[in-house]
Amino acid sequence: MDIKLRVEEIQKAFVLHLQGGMVLPVLSGVNLIVHAGECVALSGPSGIGKSTLLRILYANYKPDRGNVWVEHRGEWVNLLQAKPYRILEIRRSTIGYVSQFLRVIPRVPAIEIVMEPLRNLGYPPQECRLQAEAMLRRLNIPERLWTISPTLFSGGEQQRINISRSFICPFSILLLDEPTAALDDQNRKIVIELIQEAKTRGAAVVGVFHDREVKEAVSTRTFDIPKEKIS
């Protein structure tokens, strides 16, 4: 099976300068390889660094040391050394990320938010719209909400917009941080389906799933974040 993601010796400590330079070590020497079709569930107690690791894999957090190799357009790229425009390109076409929170841009209607990833890849607007509509319908977002900005949505509705946006592109790597938080049973099942479909088409998925039902349904293995070594 193809390797899609190779994480090497990731080390991260937060230095809180506003708290007198207090050092919070979080990750020390994380190594992980993920293949196409796998769904790795990151596990460990709260605060161990699961979300931190996911953010590092998206280049949203910067580790002190280590490499994150991703296969992008047929070449292996080290995300932590790549130029900013390259990272943005990778985020547009190769790596998708579902966070727990939707950062809502005021005034932009829900349908445009969902269409945007496809528009960024150059698909024609009509095609993007059709796919976005299909995704919104699938996630039970009523049509009357499509032209409204998600600033006015409930938490669960916002999360479904988040999901729609991240699953609309066939990303080869998916990073999911509590994707079903705030969702009811019916919508949770739909997200499980979406994750299964992604795996079937060969995506490599890494996720944090506190929801046991989801974790058991989608993960192919568990990865325990190593406890911070005390040196």
Partner 1 sequence: MNQNTDGRRPLLKAMGLTKYFGDRVGCRNITFDLWPGEVLGIVGESGSGKTTLLNLLSGQLVETKGTVKYSLAGKDLVDLNQLPAPQKRYLMRTEWGLVRQNPKEGLRMQVSAGANVGERLMALGIRHYGTIRSEVVKWFERVEIDVARIDDLPETFSGGMLQRLQIARNLVTQPRLVLMDEPTGGLDVSIQASLLDLLRRLVSELNLSLIIVTHDLAVARLLAHRLLVMRQGEVVESGLTDQVLDDPHHPYTQLLVSSVLHS
List residues binding partner 1 (CB under 8 A): 15-18, 55, 59-62, 75-78, 81-88, 105-108, 119
Buried b (16+ CB within 10 A) or exposed e, 138-160: bbebeeebbeebbeebeeebbbb
C-beta closer to partner 1: residue 65 or 138:
65
Q: How far is the CB of 55 from partner 1 (least distance, A)?
A: 7
Minimum distance, C-beta of residue 219 to partner 1, in the bound complex (Å): 26
Two tokens, residue 52: 């931190």
Residue ranges of alpha helices (H) inside the chain are 50-57, 84-93, 110-120, 125-138, 155-167, 185-200, 212-218
Residue 99 CB, shortest distance to partner 1, in Å, is: 10
Q: Which is nearer to partner 1, 75 or 185 (CB)?
A: 75
- 22-35 and 221-224 beta bridge pairing: unpaired
Task: Give the residue with the Cβ less far from partner 1, 39 or 59.
Answer: 59
CB of residue 77 vs partner 1: minimum separation in angstroms?
A: 5
Nearer to partner 1, 65 or 119 (CB): 119
DSSP string, 101-134: S--PPTT--HHHHHHHHHHHTT--HHHHHHHHHH
